[in-house]
């Protein structure tokens, strides 16, 4: 009867702890959505992992409670019938069989899954946050609910640990130590967020890696407990798989410190724990801790402004004024009332900031259009080439004209009734700094000025690209368009009294959307082939026309040369004929002999000549001198005789 009540109490406690863990997980997740701190996200996961652990203990205590009820029923039947059952009792106590199966199979499997999840999340967190800054805005007000949760979790864990002192409820110690570690982690998270609020970011990094280290140790310990259970002898009373000694040390240091004190005494050779200094520190631990917490709270009244910063100091939510104007505090050390009575708002006014619009996440390799440039990219609506030619020219007039950019955009929008559209992806980087003269506008007229600036950039860029061709942004017109966007954003920011000065605007990684990039590359390739064909045809035309002109020129020159030669030859022949006629008239005989011999000379050059000895000795022998000589002389031809005869 006593065991039944204790098991029932253990079941109720496990049920309450399981429900408490679920509520705790929801609270931590809600806090994470407000703060976006990776420490709160890590603790949310740690609390969620505890839910199946508490659920398995809930099932175990429920089976034990059912087993005790069945034992009572068996005892009542035995007394009523006056005999003892001969059958094996395990075949009758169904809850005992279920309990054995739960302890033998369900708990090891769950322990393996929990240890695997812990180890995986640790490595995943290390790979994701390694070299990446923890970027979020710390809110000191979130520390107070975390401190309150720490107190509630600690009290509940102590209650469960007190119940686990009973023999039948020893397994509750695993849940108690788990909740105790939750309380410790929650307190460390609150402290780290408070330090981050005072720009001590390294403390947060230290706590983050410390939590990962302890989660890794817990996962390894769960896994080792499962492996050791297979080699434990039957009947040996053992701790459960989830009863972590690491968690026990962190949640119940008062039970571990006495053992540690004995070890210290043995190492030093005397009872050092009995010295006055050790006892002084031990007895005044709580006051010293409270003094430390008070001094930490007093530090909230100190404001440190760096050389590149300026700040407003608030009292009860309103900035301190001087001569009716909010007082601006420069670099140095300033005092204020402790939080939450006094607050400070510190801003970088001398350093250039930047905002990125159009993409989200880390940058990729950005090698080709077909590869993702960022983790997430948004598509911009942009005008197509059919309608944007006139609009782009109007916008580009802004670089050489004094007309407002908005007026040019309006004129561009009036060029057509319907506008075909394309899509464009890419990042817009806007570099700006806070104008110190308008710091009050930046700090108090907008709750989130960075988001307002994002909206202005998005709005102005959307208006501009609705009248700009896709290729105008890809080519050399990108810089003039960036300057136009810079002026538009600055004008709109001044209208909204944002208090910022736009330094520069740049377009980066502009490309067609990833889904259509392969098709767009084919279109661009076809356009390039078209241009190449046109240039090839022009080159072919230029080359052939040049060759034709050259050939015509050659023919013309040859014809003119032939004409000149034929004209000169004809004139020469005419003159030659006249000279021959004159020579013939002077001496016809000599003229005839000369041309006769010349004809004979020309005809006898090629044929072969043979000398034939004739048997007829009465024939005349003519001796011919074949040596080339001057023109035949008139004397060897007997012209004198012929002339004499003519004279006689």
The DSSP string of 222-274 is HHHHHHHHTTSPTT-----TT--HHHHHHH-HHHHHHHHHHHHHHHHTS-GGG
pLDDT given for residue 47 in this prediction: 93
Look at 74-88, 181-195, 491-505 and tell me which has the smallest mean pLDDT. 74-88
Using the structure block, give the residue that is written with the tokens 């995943």.
124
φ/ψ of 374, rounded to 5, equals -135, 170
Q: Provide the pLDDT confidence category of residue 332 given band limits of 50, 70 and 90.
A: confident
How much is the average pLDDT of 532-556?
A: 84
pLDDT at residue 86 greater than cutoff 50:
no
Closest of 52, 91, 87 to residue 70, by C-alpha: 91
Q: Which residue has the higher pLDDT, 352 or 641?
A: 352
Q: Does residue 425 contact residue 473 with C-beta atoms inside 8 Å?
A: no
pLDDT at residue 192 greater than cutoff 90:
no
pLDDT given for residue 412 in this prediction: 45
Q: How far apart are CA 93 and CA 88, in angstroms?
A: 9
pLDDT given for residue 25 in this prediction: 93
User: For 87-108, what is each residue's pLDDT tens digit?
Assistant: 444 445 677 777 787 778 888 8
How much is the average pLDDT of 548-554?
A: 86
Q: Provide the pLDDT confidence category of residue 24 given band limits of 50, 70 and 90.
A: very high
Which range is most confident: 26-40, 130-144, 245-259?
A: 26-40
Closest of 387, 371, 395 to residue 477, by C-alpha: 395
CA angle 575, 581, 586 (to 5 degrees): 130
- In the chain, % of residues over pLDDT 70: 73
Q: How far apart are CA 458 and CA 227, in angstroms?
A: 58
Q: Provide the pLDDT confidence category of residue 375 given band limits of 50, 70 and 90.
A: low
Domain residue extents for the chain = 2-251, 297-348, 354-515, 522-586, 589-647
Q: Which residue has the higher pLDDT, 481 or 423?
A: 481
Closest of 204, 136, 128 to residue 362, by C-alpha: 128
pLDDT given for residue 510 in this prediction: 74
Q: H or E element: which one contains 157?
A: helix 143-163
Q: Provide the pLDDT confidence category of residue 49 given band limits of 50, 70 and 90.
A: very high
Q: Provide the pLDDT confidence category of residue 273 given band limits of 50, 70 and 90.
A: low
pLDDT at residue 441 greater than cutoff 80:
yes
pLDDT at residue 16 greater than cutoff 90:
yes
CA angle 127, 130, 131 (to 5 degrees): 145
Q: Does residue 205 contact residue 134 with C-beta atoms inside 8 Å?
A: yes
Q: What kind of fold does domain 354-515 have according to CATH?
A: Tetrahydropterin Synthase; Chain A (3.30.479)
- Decide: helix, strand or coil at residue 621: coil
Q: How far apart are CA 392 and CA 467, in angstroms?
A: 6
pLDDT given for residue 267 in this prediction: 58
Q: Provide the pLDDT confidence category of residue 256 given band limits of 50, 70 and 90.
A: low
């Amino acid at each position: 009867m006593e065991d039944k009540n204790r098991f029932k109490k253990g079941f109720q406690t496990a049920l309450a702890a399981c429900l408490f863990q679920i509520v705790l997980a929801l609270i931590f997740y809600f806090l994470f959505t407000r703060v976006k701190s990776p420490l709160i996200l890590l603790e949310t996961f740690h609390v969620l992992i505890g839910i199946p652990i508490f659920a398995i203990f809930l099932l175990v205590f429920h089976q034990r409670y059912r087993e005790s009820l069945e034992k009572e029923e068996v005892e009542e039947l035995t007394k009523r019938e006056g005999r003892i059952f001969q059958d094996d009792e395990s075949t009758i106590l169904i809850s005992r069989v279920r309990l054995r199966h739960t302890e033998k199979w369900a708990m090891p499997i769950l322990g393996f899954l929990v240890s695997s999840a812990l180890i995986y999340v640790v490595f995943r967190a290390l790979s994701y946050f390694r070299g990446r800054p923890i970027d979020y805005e710390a809110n000191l007000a979130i520390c107070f609910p975390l401190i309150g949760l720490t107190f509630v979790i600690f009290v509940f864990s102590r209650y469960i640990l007190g119940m686990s002192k009973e023999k039948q409820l020893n397994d509750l110690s695993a849940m108690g130590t788990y909740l105790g570690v939750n309380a410790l982690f929650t307190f460390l998270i609150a402290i780290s967020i408070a330090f981050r609020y005072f720009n001590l970011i390294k403390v947060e990094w230290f706590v983050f890696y410390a939590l990962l280290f302890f989660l890794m140790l817990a996962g390894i310990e769960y896994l080792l407990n499962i492996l050791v259970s297979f080699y434990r002898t039957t009947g040996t009373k053992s701790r459960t798989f989830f009863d972590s000694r690491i968690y026990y040390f962190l949640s119940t240091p008062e039970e571990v410190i006495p053992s540690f004190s004995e070890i210290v005494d043995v190492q030093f050779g005397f009872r050092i724990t009995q010295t006055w200094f050790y006892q002084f520190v031990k007895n005044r631990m709580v006051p010293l801790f409270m003094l430390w917490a008070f001094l930490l709270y007093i530090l909230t009244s100190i404001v440190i402004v760096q050389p590149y910063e300026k700040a407003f100091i608030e009292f009860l939510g309103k900035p301190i004024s001087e001569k009716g104007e909010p007082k601006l505090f420069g670099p140095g050390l300033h005092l204020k009332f402790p939080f939450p009575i006094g607050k400070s708002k510190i801003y970088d006014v001398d350093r250039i900031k930047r905002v990125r619009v159009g993409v989200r996440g880390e940058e990729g390799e950005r090698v080709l259009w077909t590869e993702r440039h960022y983790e997430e990219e948004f598509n911009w609506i942009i005008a197509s080439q059919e309608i944007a030619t006139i609009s782009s020219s109007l916008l580009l007039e802004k670089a050489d004209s004094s007309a407002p950019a908005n007026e040019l955009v309006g004129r561009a929008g009036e060029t057509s009734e319907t506008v075909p559209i394309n899509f464009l992806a890419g990042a817009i980087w806007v570099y700006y700094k806070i104008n110190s003269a308008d710091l009050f506008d930046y700090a108090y007229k907008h709750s989130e000025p960075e988001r307002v600036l994002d909206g202005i950039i998005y709005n102005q860029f959307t208006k501009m690209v609705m009248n700009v061709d896709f290729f105008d942004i890809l080519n050399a017109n990108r810089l003039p368009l960036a300057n136009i966007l810079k002026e538009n954003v600055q004008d709109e920011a001044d209208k909204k009294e944002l208090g910022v000065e736009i330094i520069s605007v740049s377009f980066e990684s502009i490309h067609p959307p990833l889904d259509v990039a392969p098709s767009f590359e084919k279109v661009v390739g076809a356009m390039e082939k078209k241009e190449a064909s046109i240039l090839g045809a022009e080159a072919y035309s230029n080359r052939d026309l040049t060759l034709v002109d050259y050939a015509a020129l050659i023919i013309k020159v040859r014809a003119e040369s032939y004409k000149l030669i034929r004209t000169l030859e004809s004139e020469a022949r005419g003159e030659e004929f006249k000279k021959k006629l004159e020579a013939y008239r002077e001496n016809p005989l000599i003229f005839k002999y000369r041309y006769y011999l010349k004809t004979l000379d020309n005809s006898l050059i090629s044929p072969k000549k043979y000398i034939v000895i004739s048997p007829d000795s009465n024939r005349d022998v003519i001796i011919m001198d074949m040596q080339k000589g001057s023109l035949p002389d008139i004397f060897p031809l007997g012209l004198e005789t012929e002339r004499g005869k003519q004279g006689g």
